[in-house]
Amino acid sequence: MSEPRKHHYLPEFYLKRWATNGEGKVCVYRRPHGIVDVRWLHPAGVGFQKDLYTIPSRADPVARQEMETGFMTPIDTQAANALAYIAAHGARPPNLKLQQGWSRFVLSLLYRHPRQIEFIRTKVRENDETTWSDLERNYDAIRGPDDPSTYREYRETTGKAICDETEAQLIRSMIDSAWIGDHLTRMHWNFITLEQPKHGLLTSDDPVMTSNGVGNRDGFVIVPVGPRTLFLAVNDLEVRDAFAKAPHKLERAFNDATVNQAEAIVVGANEHHRAFVDRRLGRAIRTKENGWSEETRRQVWASPIIFSDDVLLKPRRVRRAPH
């Protein structure tokens, strides 16, 4: 049996929530050239990259795919069970493992996107170069009896493997962050259903919207979980109420944020968003003043409780890295 090399950063179970056309397909908006291109695709054919989580220096083909099969797949399986409960009951699952599974999945969506994976790998390589320089200067003094005789040989034989393993471990540790994961599980969970949406909610290749520090009083986490439903986690119920105070604005506000935050792909349940997506996808200016964090490569959104008007979401100028 061949090992899976098609790694989904948007899992099929999640995208299937938008497959409401009777054919099991979702509407995918992209901008490969000029105007937005619209295609109907099965969820299995969307939101993946070949060998995205592969650990290439491992000789065993099974071990190379361990991040996908042994880490990402169990996350998605548990989250699918949690989302099934959420969809059926519109409420937090009573089972703590399902709650933790959903929190873990939401965290994974923050870090498993190709842009974030490449950002993490770049940072690891930058840090490693400093470490390698120190090792080169002191190699003869610290070399063990079984190590190659020269630093160059050591770097060529073991350097890639060390870097690959460090990257994999860092990705795991970020997704499995005990502080953020436990805090997200303890937040107030809300599942907002739009009664009469105009065209429905969108999702994207970067679907999680967060405030600048989820531990702050006005902190929140938002994920669209279907064309009519949003998952909203807050620390203070005043924030929930601020989002809910203008239900007629929810759909446009969240779709606007979703498309502006997207990297390359937007997904919906129909083609009616074409002009809306075309005006936004890939056109946001990603600067600090527009809520873009250079440290985390993420868009950051401000809570509506700090606004004087009834705006629901707008970029928040980043002053520090999110927790």
**Of 312, 307, 310, 180, which is closest to residue 256 (Cα–Cα)?**
312
> Packing angle between helix 151-175 and helix 114-142, nearest 10 degrees?
140
In contact, 112 and 172? CB cutoff 8 Å: no
Number of alpha helices (DSSP H) and beta strands (DSSP E) in the chain: 11, 14
Q: How far is CA 139 from CA 150, 165, 209, 227, in A?
A: 8, 21, 46, 58
Element (H, E) at 204: strand 203-204
pLDDT tens, per residue, the chain with 323 residues: 467 889 999 999 999 999 999 999 999 999 988 889 999 999 999 999 999 999 998 889 999 999 999 999 999 999 999 999 998 998 999 999 999 999 999 999 999 999 999 988 887 777 666 666 766 777 788 777 877 788 777 777 776 777 888 889 889 998 999 889 999 999 999 999 988 889 999 999 999 999 877 888 889 999 999 999 999 999 999 989 888 877 778 899 899 999 999 999 999 999 999 999 999 998 876 766 666 666 666 777 877 754 545 556 666 554 444 33
Q: How far is CA 24 from CA 10, 27, 72, 274, in A?
A: 16, 10, 23, 20
In one-letter notation, the amino acid at residue 192 is I
